[in-house]
Amino acid sequence: MAQVLPSSCIVHQFQKFAELTESEITLLQALEKDPRKYDSDQPMVTEGGKGERFFTLQSGWACATRTLADGQRQILDIFLPGQILGLREICFDRNLSEFRTLTEVKACPFPRQRLTEIFDQAPRLTDLFFLILAREQSMLIERVINIGRRSAVERLAHFIVEIKLRLNIEADHFTLPMNQTIIGDTLSLSSVHVSRTFKVLRDKGLLETSGGDIRICDLDGLIEISGFDRHYLESHSNWARQD
C-alpha cells in the first residue's frame, strides 16, 4: 500500500468507501499537486463562468450558492475537507453555481479532463467517484426535504446533527463557521428566524451556543426532534467492483 500524504484528504475520503491500491492512491494524490490558498468569503468560481476546473478541498469550509434575480441567495452545498467541488456540474460547460469560501481555504484546482485520464487508468476509481457523487446527491435531496417539509426547529436541529456526523467527531462540541445569515441562506430562513430557532433549541436543553461554537447537550433529542435518519450519509457500499 502506498504511503498516504498527511495532507491528502481526498485519499482519506475515498478510503471510507474501499481499500485503495497503491496505483489508485498515487492517481488521487496527483489531484492535490497544486494547493492554493483562498481567503474567507472569497469566490473560487463564479456562477455562469466557464466550467473548466474541479477543486479538491484540503482544509477549510466552502459552499455552493445560487443567487436569484432579486438578490436572494440559496446555499446548495456545504463542502468540508476531502470533498471535490464541482462533480455535480461535470456535464455543463458553464458553472451552474458559485463556489465560495466560508473560511480560509486550501484547495487544489485541476482540469476536468484529468478525471477522464484517471478513469482510463483505474476503472474502479470510476465506481468510487460515482458513489461519492451519489452521496452528495443524497445530501442535496435531504436538504430539499429539510427546506420543503420540516419546521424551522426541525431544519436547524437536522442541520446541526448532519454537520456533526460529517465532521466525524466524537466530541459534543464543534465550531460552525457560518453566521446566522449564511445558516439562513442554507435553510431558507431569515437571520432573525435562525436566531429565534437557536433560542428554542437552547431553551429545550438540546444545545448551547457561544459565537460560532456549538455544544450539543442532547444528541438523541436533536435526532428525535428532527426525525434524523443517518442512512443518507453512509459511505460504505458493496456496489463498487473489487480490486
Query: What's residue 17's pLDDT?
Result: 85
**pTM over the 0.85 mark:** yes
Task: Quick: pLDDT tens for 116-129.
Answer: 999 999 999 999 99
Task: Quick: pLDDT tens for 120-155.
Answer: 999 999 999 999 999 999 999 999 999 999 999 999
Amino acid identity, position 158:
H
List of residues 6+ apart from 133 with CB closer than 8 A: 87, 88
CATH number of 150-232: 1.10.10.10
* Domain spans in the chain, listed from the N-terminal domain onward: 9-122, 150-232
Mean pLDDT of the chain: 92
Topology of domain 9-122 in CATH is Jelly Rolls (2.60.120)
Confidence band, pLDDT 50/70/90 cuts, at residue 243:
low
Calculated CA dihedral for residues 150, 211, 168, 234, nearest 10 degrees = 20
For residue 80, pLDDT over 90 is answered with: yes
